Amino acid sequence: MAIVEMKKVRLLALRRDRSRVFRSMQRLGCVHILDGGECAPEEFKPRDLHRLEEAERQIARLDWAVSKIAPFAPEKKGLFSLKPEKTEDDLLAAQAGKADVMEIVSRLEEIERTLSDLRSKEARERAELQKLKPWAPLDAPFERIGAAKNSRSLLVSVQPRDWPALEKGAKELSVEPVLIEISRDRDGVYALIAAHLSDSEALSDLLRLTGAVEVSFPGARGTAAATIEQLEGRIKRIAEVRAQLRKEVEHFGRRTGEVKVYRDALALERSQLEAASKVAETGSAFFLTGWTPADCVERVRAAIERSAADFELEFLDPAEDEDPPTLLRNNKFLTPFESIVKLYALPNPRGIDPTLVMTPFFICFFGLMMGDAAYGIIMAVIAALITWKLRGRGGMGAIVAVLVSGSVSTIVWGALLGGWFGIEDVKPLIGFTPMGEPIKMMILCLGLGAVQLLTGIGVAMYMNFRRRQVLDGLLDQGLWFVLFGGIGMLFVNPQIGKILAIVGAAGIFLTAGRKRKKLLSKFTGGFGALYGISGYISDLLSYARLFGMGLATGVIAMVMNNVAGMLMGGGVVGFILGAVVLVVGHTFNIAINVLGAYVHTCRLQYIEFFGKFFEDGGKPFTPLGTEGKYVDFGLDRAA
């Protein structure tokens, strides 16, 4: 149970030393800086954010550039790759190469603008081409279509069902027009119509009645076929230019590493500017407040002494109304399990870290849900290899480290329950199998659940004792131990069990509402608390999922074995198919049940266990550091 004790840092120093102070804190990596404007002296004021905003814009440009060229980088980042570690020299080199990197970004932005223009132009050309294709058989140049001395010619499109009506109406004009079908498709009939000027109004009425639409190509000259050829040529040239620009982008892929390193170097500067934006300052001094772990106080003091000539520095305990950030610190084995706690919520800094008491139950329940020793061996080998690759770093490293422990538990429970690839003839070490004697398995699962629930009540009792609320601990949790102890004793010594159960229930009923003022409220409070036993029963029954998940793993494995066995009896082809079913089926069974076991084990911790004592509301401890998005410049990992 390790929530790190925090000390409040208050620093008053000269502005000329500000950059050195922030660089020292960044390398130290154990100072969480607060917005100190509100608690600063009156003559101090917040800093200008212009440089921070500019850094944000530059970083956004660099992230965009990385997204464009990273797919073409010579070295691809794998799923289990670590961030490259860079040195101080790499940082200085990245800062010195700023101009070259930003030139790449500017060129990429120029290329993107050009590509965007080309895409728009190509879309227009293709739309015009699509519009022209039905008129390809038209021999007449476009410039000859329109009004003449005594006639009017135009291009029209009409629905195929309305074409007969158009033909019939044209014949009824005073001077029979020329009506030529150029082409047709399922969307329409495309035609050229030429009529005498005296029939212009009648022609317009005819077009309106038949739904015919006049088609025009403003500015087009020559025949449709020639215009189509020109458009296709322009589209081809656009494609060639786009291909050249894409090759240039691919060429920049070789410099992805440079862009990433400079991006993170700028991010370090951005972090300093963010920290600086939280301090208050005058023309000659600045005032900083923050938090640091208690065991880092002397290191912070030494770093400030190296960075500032004149300063005032003090470390204070948190005030009663202050909530310092929460930092969990456990031993190497328990640290990966902190990720499970953080998925739920960070504990209140004045509460406890549940990692220690949760971990044994998590490991036990995960293995019981998997329940197959052979699966556990496979999981252990794979998880160990990934852990070695990741060196336990990052969120993925923590999850895989949890799976290593879970796989060991799976091996143990699998051997105890006779689970080996779902083979039915293997003897269990504890004398029964989940499918052979499900009642015993259910009792085992509920018994383990009862142990965890009682542990949760015990932790809540410990928290009351630690806060010197001994009476609350005895009455709010201790009486539940008496009640549950009495219920358990009923199976051993009914007389003693009955007495303990009655004493516990009566005590809960009489004391649960003790802090309420009204007599009726005290009564209802006691009744409501005693009714809470139904909630404990519901929580206990939730542990039946241990039995259900473990049974599912074994049943699916057994089904795969049976299907493969039937196929293998069908000659060489059947043997091959059976082998495929075994490999694919058991792989699927491992994958789906690892996910299920992880999720359901987390649920038991979050709902049934944490619900008994966990106090959330912690804010994460986020110190000024040097780890970037793409690379890690390294720091003295004090926290």
Query: Could you tell me if 315 and 340 are in contact, meaning their C-beta atoms sit under 8 angstroms apart?
Result: no
**pLDDT at residue 345, as a whole number:** 92
Structure tokens at 589: 């069974």
Q: Is residue 617 part of a domain?
A: no
State which amino acid sits at residue 323: D
Structure tokens at 473: 């601990």
Residue whose tokens read 């440079």: 258
Element (H, E) at 384: helix 373-390
Using the CB atoms, write b or e for 526-552: b if 16+ within 10 Å: beebbeeeeebeebbebbebbbebbbb
Residues 12 and 156 both lie in one domain: no
Q: Rg of the Cα trace of the chain?
A: 38
Calculate mean pLDDT across residues 161-190: 87
Any idea which of 168-177, 242-251, 499-508, 587-596 has the lowest mean pLDDT?
Answer: 168-177
Is the pLDDT reported for residue 639 higher than 50? no
Q: Is residue 205 part of a domain?
A: yes
Q: Is residue 230 part of a domain?
A: yes
Residues 452 and 600 both lie in one domain: yes
State which amino acid sits at residue 414: G
Q: Is residue 626 part of a domain?
A: no
CATH number at residue 22: 3.30.70.1150
Q: What is the Cα–Cα distance from 108 to 252, expressed in whole angstroms?
A: 9
Give the pLDDT band (50/70/90) at residue 517. Answer: confident
**pLDDT at residue 593, as a whole number:** 93
Query: Could you tell me if 525 and 516 are in contact, meaning their C-beta atoms sit under 8 angstroms apart?
Result: yes
Q: Is residue 638 part of a domain?
A: no
129: closest CA among 228, 230, 234, 214?
228
The DSSP string of 65-78 is HHHHHGGG-SSPPP
Any idea which of 114-128, 211-225, 321-335, 423-437 has the lowest mean pLDDT?
Answer: 423-437
Structure tokens at 350: 């004045």
Give the pLDDT band (50/70/90) at residue 77. Answer: low
Domain of residue 302, residue span: 1-40+279-327
Residue whose tokens read 């241990």: 546
Q: What is the Cα–Cα distance from 427 to 263, expressed in whole angstroms?
A: 60
Residues 319 and 188 both lie in one domain: no
Q: Is residue 435 part of a domain?
A: yes
Does this model's pTM top 0.85?
Answer: no
If one counts every other C-beta atom within 10 angstroms of the C-beta of residue 587, the result is 12
Beta bridge partners of 152: 147, 195
Structure tokens at 141: 């140049």
**pLDDT at residue 516, as a whole number:** 75
Using the CB atoms, write b or e for 418-448: b if 16+ within 10 Å: bbbbbeeebebeeebbbbeeeeebbebbbeb
Structure tokens at 150: 């005594």
Calculate mean pLDDT across residues 9-36: 88
Q: What is the Cα–Cα distance from 634 to 639, expressed in whole angstroms?
A: 13
Residues 457 and 592 both lie in one domain: yes
**pLDDT at residue 508, as a whole number:** 84
Residues 88 and 160 both lie in one domain: no
Q: How many CA atoms, within 13 angstroms, populate the side-chain half-sphere of residue 621? A: 25
Residues 476 and 401 both lie in one domain: yes
Q: Is residue 621 part of a domain?
A: no
**pLDDT at residue 312, as a whole number:** 92
Identify the three-state secondary structure at position 192.
strand
Element (H, E) at 8: strand 6-14
Query: Could you tell me if 374 and 613 are in contact, meaning their C-beta atoms sit under 8 angstroms apart?
Result: no
**pLDDT at residue 634, as a whole number:** 64
Q: What is the Cα–Cα distance from 471 to 599, expressed in whole angstroms?
A: 37
Higher-pLDDT residue of 393, 479: 479
Residues 589 and 461 both lie in one domain: yes
Structure tokens at 390: 């990741």
Span 383-406, pLDDT tens digits: 888 877 776 566 677 888 899 999
Is the pLDDT reported for residue 74 higher than 80? yes
- Mean per-residue pLDDT over the chain, rounded: 87
Is the pLDDT reported for residue 35 higher than 70? yes
Residues 360 and 456 both lie in one domain: yes
Identify the three-state secondary structure at position 109.
helix
Q: What is the Cα–Cα distance from 636 to 28, expressed in whole angstroms?
A: 5
Residues 122 and 145 both lie in one domain: no
Residue whose tokens read 């390809």: 136
Residues 432 and 399 both lie in one domain: yes
**pLDDT at residue 575, as a whole number:** 87
**pLDDT at residue 361, as a whole number:** 96
Q: What is the Cα–Cα distance from 605 to 359, expressed in whole angstroms?
A: 10
Structure tokens at 56: 């944000």
Q: What is the Cα–Cα distance from 21 to 19, expressed in whole angstroms?
A: 5
Calculate mean pLDDT across residues 99-119: 94
Residue whose tokens read 């009486």: 479
Q: Please count the structural domains in the chain.
A: 4
Calculate mean pLDDT across residues 137-146: 87
3-state helix, strand and coil shares in percent for the chain, rounded to the nearest 5? 65, 10, 25
Please, what sign has the CA dihedral across residues 369, 373, 375, 377? positive
Query: Could you tell me if 151 and 197 are in contact, meaning their C-beta atoms sit under 8 angstroms apart?
Result: yes
Span 531-544, pLDDT tens digits: 778 888 999 999 99
Phi and psi of 138, rounded to 5°?
A: -70, 120
CATH number at residue 203: 3.30.70.2750
Residues 32 and 52 both lie in one domain: no
Beta bridge partners of 280: 46, 287
Is the pLDDT reported for residue 146 higher than 90? no
Q: Is residue 313 part of a domain?
A: yes
Q: What is the Cα–Cα distance from 454 to 446, expressed in whole angstroms?
A: 12
Calculate mean pLDDT across residues 604-610: 94
Span 548-583, pLDDT tens digits: 998 999 899 999 988 988 888 778 888 889 899 999
Structure tokens at 88: 């101080």
End residue of a domain, out of 157, 190, 222: 222
Calculate mean pLDDT across residues 222-238: 92
Structure tokens at 40: 């600063």
**pLDDT at residue 161, as a whole number:** 92
Calculate mean pLDDT across residues 99-127: 94
Residues 467 and 569 both lie in one domain: yes
**pLDDT at residue 637, as a whole number:** 46
**pLDDT at residue 140, as a whole number:** 87
421: closest CA among 576, 587, 574?
587
